[in-house]
Structure 1
Amino acid sequence: MPPPMMLPPSPGDSGARDMDDEDLVEELLATVNSARAFVDFRRTQRKECANLLRWLQLVLPLLEELRDSAPPLTEDAYHRLALLGRAFSAARRLLRSCHDGSKIFLALESEAVLGRFRSVYEKMNSALDGMPYSELAISDEVKEQVELMNAQLTRCKKRTDTQDIELSMDLMVILENRDDERNADSAILERLAKKLELQTLADLRAETMAIKKLINERNGQSGDCTKQIIELLNKFKEVAGVDEKNVLGEVSMTKSLDKCPSLMIPNDFLCPITLAIMTDPVIVASGQTYERRSIQKWLDSGERTCPKTRQPLSHLSLAPNYALKNLILQWCDKNKVELQKREPEPVAEQDEQQRGEDIPSLVEGLSSIHLDVQRKAVKRIRMLSKECPENRTLVADSGGIPALIGLLACRDKKVQENTVTSLLNLSIDESNKRHITRGGAIPLIIEILRNGSAEAQENSAATLFSLSMLDENKLTIGRLGGIAPLVELLRNGTVRGKKDAATAIFNLVLNQQNKARATQAGIVPALLKIIDDKALNMVDEALSIFLLLSSHSACCGEIGTPPFMEKLVRLIKEGTPKNKECALSVLLELGSKNKPLLVHALRFGLHEDLSKIAKTGTSRAQRKANSLIQLARKCY
């Protein structure tokens, strides 16, 4: 990668040129070509990166003709090309970030990153707008191509920033429900891991290194964003079955390393699985070294390959690596680093095999003619299916899904409750989602949602949410009448039930047809009631659903009323920073389609609040406030 280009001074400087005309053009070409070398990007920014690369590609012919003809550059032409160079450098930095940056960071800051793309487009557009083509020795064809590209950039920079609302909602649910370990949230984690491509050991290792780099770039400062990144990484590792939950390695939180944040740990000392300093290194058949506990867990899960090389292991023996252990101890002693003591293996692990052997007999008990046997079997399966992926697979392989679906119609409330919760746990696995759906469970779950006990209703809503992660199920649940009882639960359920209902409804109204169904079921007054109930602390969830509904014409008509505008204004003035972000997003969406509504909102003295948020709000709130200020100017 070439070094950062040296750019000429900006207008108002001395006007001296830092490099020759030919060197400037060569620097521009080198910057564009180095930016084009990035070919794989994080999924959340992949589309925008492809757009940026396409525009960089379109400007290449201009630079190549300038290089080949080598015309003397006027001051104006030189200045415009220098501005273009600044835009190219910003583009290269942005593409590099989207190529090898932390996937979690890019997801959490997706809207800010989108703003960086917009800034690059504005820089390129500004440079090309005043380009004196008549003074450059370029062909008419190249001139027309660049002018067409510049017109596209002009339209692009005016585009309203949008975000992946599903991704945003998933992140909000996971980060806000820190104490809720139910498998409904595990299902969201599964979807997030898939969307962010953080499902394999290799993915998680690379992400861990990217986060370490990010933390180092921030000089070890641990702001709220960094804490959220580490928290999410730990959750993804847990879902993937990776034992280590400390992104900085086992020793990184000790006092010794806290005092020496710049201390670099030799890579050979880190276990390839956990990326933590090894305390008991062992060698496997492939010749690679791992922490004993980590590689043993890998082998116990049924794996018979080397995690690092993917080579088949000729044997499963583990040989202690005493030489490396001594080197690690010497390094720790020299750098005054105290290794954490190994935690003893949990006693519960010795019972795993016995629990697995119990599952087939428990599945048989589900079909017993004796109610007591059914009660005990389904209660036990509920517990086992929550614990680990292996148990969920074994329940499904033993015929547990059809047997559980058969119990959904049981009149015993406790059996119903445990059955629907067992299906919730099993539905974490995508293959199980399909088996549950094909087995005809959805209408039975909807019936429990209508008439079951409070806990059964909560878990029915959570199960519908989990099943609705398959796009075809969104339409099925809506068509079978699942939205109306969810709205009823949102209106009159327990606090937990309201939260489950809101999450399920959000997922379902991602489908356009379900937006109309939700409106007909009375979702708007139910959400307004949620917003008014401050004790629930569900304002952000309600506004996120409103944001989705506002894209549907029928829903927009019901939402877009002066009283609702007044609620949004109140939240913008008095709400939490997150409330303000969400309220601004909804107001921007509605105001873009119906300017009189925005004018009505502005009558409540919103100008001053927008100006304040544009300067002191969160980064997302600032962008929304600025967009609203620009939109407001067009209303008068």
Structure 2
Amino acid sequence: MGRGKHRWKILFYRSQSALKSESKQPPKEFVCPISGSLMADPVIVASGHTLERICVEVCKDLGFTPILPDESKPNFSTVIPNVAIKSTILNWCRANGVERPKPPELSSVQKLACALMPPEKLTFKCKMEEEESEEEKISVSVEKEELLKGVAENPPVKFSYAATELNRRPTHFYTSSDESVITAIPTTPLPFATRPSCYSSSSSSDNVTDESLNPVSPEEEEIVVKLKSLQVFDQEETVISLRKITRTNPDMRVPLCSNRLLSVLKSLLISRYSVIQINAVASLVNLSLEKINKVKIVRAGIVPPLIDVLKGGFPEAQEHAAGALFSLALDDDNKMAIGVLGALPPLLHILRSESERARHDSALALYHLSLVQSNRSKLVKLGSVPTLLAMVKGGDLASRVLLILCNLAACAEGRTTLLDANAVECFVGMLRKKELDSETTRENCVGALYALSQGSLRFKVLAKEAGAAEVLREVEERGSERAREKAKRILQMMRGTGRYHEDEGEEVDWESMLDSGVLSQTRPRLSQNESVANST
């Protein structure tokens, strides 16, 4: 044997097709949690989940609510097409050269749903499908027996050479050294172990994470039992107590926010008794103050009844409903769901409410919801721009409404609609009057002008006609630091000089802007009480 040491060098090769397929894995939000496949017809349900339509229809038809991979349960009471996510999926497919997704077959979804159901909850349809599959197996076995009989009657033909060649596999792997590595490779192929993404080795009834098996606190049990009472007095007394507990004892908000309690509160939101409805919505606001509860509340199907309260509930309950939607909209995971479920029109309507508190919370809810592109598009299509501009001109909630307009101006369709509605003249006129209620309103007004100025040659013409340069120079001299910075950038853009001018094709040094912190100052200003909901 030689004294020299052999250096092993094992090379791994990966085909381009494998690398290409990995790069085409769809984002998690494009995949249905039930079928595990790319969604062809996504819908959003009352709980905020986005699922494949046929999966929802099959589950509703079977009367079955599956437990999703995140251990939550969807609420199928409301089903709305999710046009935004469908468009995003199609754009992703085109960009990645992926074939447009097709809905899964009805039979396969039915079998999957039946497989996920616990045995004691199998419906008649599932049992019928099982019997049909058993009949298919029997017919297949009969065909096999007939084939075997036919083979027995005829002499077998041996293809020993062919069988030998087919079963031969390389057992030597060569490396860069002169030695070879001998390994034992099984001749039988490995079985596939693919399962749907929502598969669980145990049935939903055996899932230890299910709240029905978790210990229930005595406080929660007592509250739930009394809220389910048929006596109106017991319900009123208990819901008042629940409101007080969730307001004065923040530590109880998370333990009490269970699916059982939320289910009972959901039914009380549409109560015809004012005391019950008002205190139920107020309790919900208090529960939603904890960040961990926000998504859970939406997925419990609370948003649709809250919308019903906004549309026709008692006045005080409407105030709390607007506050609840504002609080829930603070979580990014809820923004799209709340918009899709139809909260935008009633929130716009509440802006005209006689209650200042309802108007305040509604405006803040719309601001946070309009941070999402799909909701911005909906607001523009709802014709909200003229209404919002009229409120700004009238001085009603000017600072908060300007926040919404800043978000709408961030999208092309919103910017065009605002320019068509003479928003530039409106904002310049507000700055010229010098009668704004606060410096924050002035900053947001300049911020709205800055948002309108982005990528728009038309803005220059309208700003010049409105005499914006003179007003902005005054803001640049006497305004707050934030207002001065934005006014300066608008003036540079109007003059066609400086790094902020984009319309003439000049290159923008984005990295230096990020390093200097300029971009971080472009978002409209929120006061502390505008970014946090309050208990009721």
Higher relative contact order, chain-length normalized (CA < 8 Å, sep 6+): 2
TM-score, reference length from structure 2? 0.49
Identify, as 1 or 2, the structure richer in helix.
1
User: Which structure's CA Rg is the greater one?
Assistant: 2
